[in-house]
Amino acid sequence: MAPREKVEIAFVADNPGDWMFHCHILEHMAGGMMGVIRVADA
């Protein structure tokens, strides 16, 4: 992905809690390339 590029994803969120997504290079993660999706109980 290019900087500021947007993509749409689809997944099954059937496990409540915080789901982390990030780059697997630790230096990138430290630089902010990480986020959290919070899945609430239905």
Q: Where are the domains of the chain?
A: 1-42
Phi, psi of 41 (to 5 degrees): -60, 145
**pLDDT of 38:** 92
- The pTM score is 0.50
**pLDDT of 2:** 83
Q: Write out residues in the chain with pLDDT < 50, as ranges.
A: none
- Report how far residue 29's alpha carbon sits from residue 41's, in angstroms, rounded to the nearest whole number: 28
Helix or strand run (H / E) with residue 37: strand 34-39
**pLDDT of 17:** 94
Going from the C-alpha of 24 to that of each of 1, 35, 37, the distances in angstroms are 15, 12, 17
- Report how far residue 10's alpha carbon sits from residue 38's, in angstroms, rounded to the nearest whole number: 15
**pLDDT of 36:** 85
Question: In the structure encoding, which two tokens stand for residue 19, read together?
Answer: 């789901």
